[in-house]
Amino acid sequence: MMNDFVLEVHTGSSNRRPRCPGLEPVGKYWKAYGDRTTMLRYSRRLRRRGFRTLVYPVNCDRSTNYRTLFFSSYPADKDGRYHCVYCGNKLTSAQVTVDHVVPVGAVKRSKRLQKKFKYTGVNTVENLVPACRACNRYKGANRSVVWRVRARLGKWRGYFVIKRLLLFAMAVFAFYELYVNVLAEYISKWINSR
């Protein structure tokens, strides 16, 4: 029997214990490992009893060593720091939270994403990026394309320099437009009224 699928059982706010062979408590939910057919059968039985369940491949689950995998694959900058791919802040290795660009929870729930990560798994190095705690919390389980684009652009250091230059240029342009359109008109009216 191959243990290539996971049955995840969520009890919600109730303290009822799900009755199923092989289930063990893991944090806020229960897990069992086994073949796909058995896990689906257990899932149907538990759903009839009012539990929420998920059945997904093992490689779509968060591993215990993904931080170690990330730090071994991505060394720090020459000054010994990392940078958040979403906001550009410099971080020490203790401040880094390793973020899954495509969230683990989204992969667990989506058959399409499970097919995408079928061979590599969700903990692949390409899916892991350094993030500050605030950006990681703000992103949460959001799987939109915007966050994937920001993560891809954020890996390139020049992105944040160009972004700051563009923001500065937009501020100068906005101030110039304000001056030309509003202040010049106000000054001309003031001069003509005298």
Q: Which two tokens stand for residue 109?
A: 């729930």
Q: Please give the model's pTM, rounded to 2 decimal places.
A: 0.76
- Condensed to tens digits (0 to 9), the pLDDT of residues 5-61 reads 999 998 877 778 888 888 998 888 899 999 999 999 999 999 999 899 999 999 998
Give the phi and the psi of residue 54 in degrees, each rounded to 5: -135, 140
Helices (H), the chain: 36-48, 66-73, 104-109, 111-116, 133-139, 145-154, 158-178, 184-193
The mean of the pLDDT values for the chain is 87
**Mean pLDDT lowest among 91-95, 102-106, 190-194:** 190-194
Nearest to 93 by CA among 128, 142, 132: 132
DSSP class of residue 51?
Answer: -
pLDDT of 40? 94
Collapse the DSSP code of 28 into the 3-class scheme (helix H, G, I; strand E, B; otherwise coil) and give the result: coil
Rounded CA separation 99/133 (Å): 9
pLDDT of 17? 85
pLDDT of 127? 92
